[in-house]
Amino acid sequence: MLAFLIGAHVCFWTIFLANLVYLRRAKFRPCATSHRPPVSILIPARNEALNLPRLLDSILAQDYPEKEIIVYDDGSEDETASILNSYKNQGVKSFRGSGPPEGWMGKVHALFQATRHAQGELMLFLDADVQLRHPEALEVLVERFYAHPESTVLTVLPELRGGGLLQVSLVPHTILTALPWPLVRLLPFSSLGALNGQAWLISATDYRRLEPHQAVKNEILEDVLIGRYLKRNGLVPVLYDAKDDLTVFMYRSMGEAWRGFRKNAYLLAGGRFYTFLPLFVFYFLAFTASVVFSPWLLLSLYLLKAATDRFSRFPFWVSLLAPLSFLLGSVLQLDSAISHWSGRVAWKGRSVLRSPHS
């Protein structure tokens, strides 16, 4: 068992260090063109009155020649509609629905409907809790998109802020230590494809050819599955370190973070008992229980979490409580599994339960 856990930690470190090199090269990769085409910025909104002004103001402040902002209000019950109405004179286009039709998830349907009105050559999908950090952020994303081959979809690793940081910090930790991004283009496996649904950029031509939201219309974990779907169809996800360009205010509290992750954690483990169980046991042994096997594994766990936290700019106390973060991660996975099995998965006042994907 000890040898197995040591091998697992060696793999985590190898993937992490390879990803650091990958991200640094991607950040400084020369762009082959100065082309700045019209960009459609597409935003789903359900009860986002607290987040939308921050996002819309940051987009309107962008020093970019041609951009359109399209927000689809997915039956909000707060002040979202009135806030969107106040931005109409500034060129923000908004559309309102009463909820997704049968067979669709809310966010997926909202973004699909927004794309029906998009006219730009590029489509940038942003969650409502995003903020562009400086006036050149949009131009940077477009430049990074064109720094890669045409068969590319750009996704980002933003700065994450808000509540529930003990849980939220596990997101970049997993992205940096579990998925070997340098191999995504080299190997044909669609399982290596993934997107961060908070922010991703694709050409309108590729989007309309593949219609990824329609392909995953009933999926809770739509961003990961869109990444795999696009990779199967020849578009390679590329990860960009956008901490200097984008901030995401994910959750306001630990409780909200728990409810948000509860709907996804079981599906990230495959969404079936026979996939969940081995992955849960592996996670528990590698990150939660490994500290009892060897003090060197405890040191490795602390150093690895501290390294991903420093990269992601989380405060020091988050790293100091790394074992608690991983313990919460284990409990959260169990809670997510039980919630899916018992049919009580909900988010923003709606049930988001669906049958597991194959």
Residue 38: closest CA among 74, 10, 69: 69
Contact (Cβ atoms closer than 8 angstroms) between residue 246 and residue 132: yes
Determine the pLDDT at residue 55: 98
Q: What is the mean pLDDT of the chain?
A: 93
Q: How far apart are CA 143 and CA 233, in angstroms?
A: 23
Q: Which residue has the tokens 């991660």?
A: 329
Residue 151 pLDDT exceeds 90: no
Determine the pLDDT at residue 236: 95
Angle between helices 170-178 and 322-342 (to 10 degrees): 90
Q: Compute the average pLDDT of residues 281-305.
A: 90
Q: How far apart are CA 191 and CA 348, in angstroms?
A: 29
Determine the pLDDT at residue 358: 35
Determine the pLDDT at residue 309: 98
Confidence of residue 291 (pLDDT cuts 50, 70, 90): confident
Contact (Cβ atoms closer than 8 angstroms) between residue 259 and residue 313: no
Q: Is 282 exposed, middle or buried (0-12, 13-18, 19+ CB in 10 A)?
A: middle
Provide the percentage of residues in the chain whose pLDDT is more than 70: 98
DSSP 65-131: SSEEEEEEEES-SSSHHHHHHHTGGGTEEEEEESSPPTT--HHHHHHHHHHTT--SSEEEEE-TTEE
Kindly report the three-state secondary structure assignment for every residue of 141-183.
Answer: HHHHHHCCCCCEEEEEECEEECCCHHHHCHHHHHHHHHCCHHH
pLDDT tens for each residue of 212-248: 999 999 998 999 999 999 999 999 999 999 999 999 9
pLDDT tens for each residue of 166-195: 999 999 999 999 999 999 999 999 988 989
Q: Compute the average pLDDT of residues 18-26.
A: 95
Confidence of residue 347 (pLDDT cuts 50, 70, 90): confident
Residue 63: closest CA among 177, 175, 143, 119: 143
**CA torsion angle for 144, 145, 147, 151 (degrees, to 10)?**
150
Determine the pLDDT at residue 36: 92
DSSP at 242: -
Determine the pLDDT at residue 357: 41
Helices of type H across 202-253? 204-210, 212-215, 222-232
Residue 182 structure tokens? 């340098």
Q: Compute the average pLDDT of residues 76-87.
A: 95
Determine the pLDDT at residue 204: 97
pLDDT tens for each residue of 249-262: 999 999 999 999 99
Determine the pLDDT at residue 31: 84
Determine the pLDDT at residue 353: 67
Confidence of residue 351 (pLDDT cuts 50, 70, 90): confident
Determine the pLDDT at residue 52: 97
Residue 206 pLDDT exceeds 60: yes
Q: In 10 A of CB 71, how many CB atoms?
A: 27
DSSP 275-335: HHHHHHHHHIIIIIIGGGT-HHHHHHHHHHHHHHHHHHT--HHHHHTHHHHHHHHHHHHHH
Q: In what order do the strands lie in the sheet with 67-74?
A: 92-97, 67-74, 39-45, 122-126, 199-203, 152-157, 236-241
Confidence of residue 154 (pLDDT cuts 50, 70, 90): very high
Q: Which residue has the tokens 């942003």?
A: 126
The residue type at 233: N
Domains in the chain, CATH or no CATH each: 31-158+196-249 (3.90.550.10), 254-348 (no CATH)
Contact (Cβ atoms closer than 8 angstroms) between residue 126 and residue 210: no
Q: Compute the average pLDDT of residues 206-214.
A: 97
Residue 343 pLDDT exceeds 90: no
Determine the pLDDT at residue 138: 98
Confidence of residue 272 (pLDDT cuts 50, 70, 90): very high
